[in-house]
Amino acid sequence: MTDTHGNTPGGPVPPTSGDEHAQHAAQTGQQPYYQQSYQQPYQAQHTPGQVTVEKKSHGLRTFLLAFAGAALACVIGLGGFGIWQAATGADKGGGSDSGSSTQLGSQNSGSINATDAESDQTLAEAVAQKALPSVAAIDVYANQSNMGGIYGFGGGSNSGSGSTLTQASLGSGVVLTDDGYIITNYHVIAGGDAYKVTIEGETYDAEVVGSDPSSDIAVIKAKDASGLKAIEIGNSDDLIIGEWVMTIGSPFGLEQSVATGIVSATSRSQIMDSSTDQYGQSSGETTIYPNMIQTDAAINPGNSGGALVDADGKLIGINTLITSYSGNYSGVGFAIPVNYAVNLAQQIIDGKTPTHAQLGVSLSTVNAQNAQRYGLSVDEGAYVAAVSAGSGAAEAGLQEGDIITKFDGQKVESASDLMLDVRSKNPGDKVKLEVNRNGETKEVEVTLGSDESSQSASTQQNSAQESLLERLLGGGSGSSENAA
């Protein structure tokens, strides 16, 4: 890939974007199962930011599935949120100030064992009884004028009295606090002007607290809620392949539905391109999913944002993606690990801008084809096309033209490999890189930085024209390269 001048000073000509191999792009047929569309308009007779609707039917409805791009995202900001340790409460860096943080999750820890359950109660029944009260159904409403791809938050000025609101989509969420903070997927609430949540049969108006589209996580709050049952939070780092799990949510609008299965695999990382509308304009965010949990427990449209719980009824993941040719359940689903998701929710609830770890470089993928074409010394890895001044990479001595081949001892085969590796780390973490420089192998230790300043600046700009690269990365605004 070339820089803005068509070459790379001080090193061989980098590979072009067309040479990159979609190493971690969406598999054929894999889609984030976005929500269903409705054509049931009504005149809003309420104050701005609230929705008053009649009891709705939750039968099968027509769903709108947003197609996840199959090519590797070439303009991504890379970073990693700190892992929130539910079991110990340890702060891994990049987290919230524990002195002023809202405590998330139930404080009443308990185990479920099939032998401890009542004689006529199965394990699934006991887990459902414990976890179902902590899972919400989310209904999203949009002004008819806003249903053409505007990705805003609820309660805006366009949702005032007399405007026509239409139920646009639905999804699921998980109750984190007794006063109504709920974690869900960003794609569930994107584009909404007003929201309602249903918890244990009670319906509340809700508002968006904050979100991180690049991680597909959002937090909403049920207004005037109290005494809700917060879910007990588990530890996704302790998962074992083959262990029993349950998915809970509102598939096809069928609230309080459960399905059981096992953990099929862990560490399933994925980069999903933003989709484009009929005019070729971006209609969403490029999203990075590091270390997802794979399960065969049924996940369908409407389960987005719902709970994946273990045999003790503890939250271990947020149901998010499926691999499917039809858009419906086919036995392969994915959940965002709870340690990753809840740390992000904690930052949002505490009023902070979510931040990511940052290496401070712009990258291109090296493969056999472009290695031969440009005379590179290795045929796989992540080519450093630019180094940001003052970044951890610059302080460690990384240079333009370096090719990163290992990250903390793990092989790096592409730029996407390195971006996902960095995403799984926290600001302040030290990592060891193996670098090929002019045919010689070197080991470099880098202290990862934070993209806090660029994140805050992007929040203030809030421009629809701004790319994810410009907003998340310090590796050169306006560049067409990957960055980390």
Catalytic residues: 187, 216, 304
| Helix, strand or coil, per DSSP, at residue 58 | coil
- Per the DSSP assignment, residues forming a β-bridge with 442 are 435
Are 169 and 188 in contact by the 8 Å Cβ rule? The answer is yes
Q: How far apart are CA 386 and CA 388, in angstroms?
A: 7
Measure the CA–CA gap between 457 and 477, rounded to whole angstroms. Answer: 13
399-402 contacts, C-beta under 8 A, 24 or more apart: 399/10, 399/11, 399/437, 400/8, 400/9, 400/10, 400/11, 401/8, 401/10, 401/11, 401/12, 401/437, 401/438, 402/11, 402/435, 402/436, 402/437
DSSP tag of 389: T
Report d(CA 470, CA 130) in Å as an integer.
44
Nearest to 190 by CA among 64, 312, 11: 64
Provide the 10 A C-beta neighbour count for residue 46.
Answer: 16
40: tokens are: 């049931």
Tell me how far apart the alpha carbons of residues 238 and 235 are, in angstroms, rounded to a whole number: 6
Comparing C-alpha atoms, which of 157, 243, 153 is closest to residue 191? 153
Helix (H) or strand (E) holding 140: strand 135-143
How many Cα atoms within 13 Å fall on the side-chain side of residue 471? 21
Distance CA 386, CA 95 (A): 29
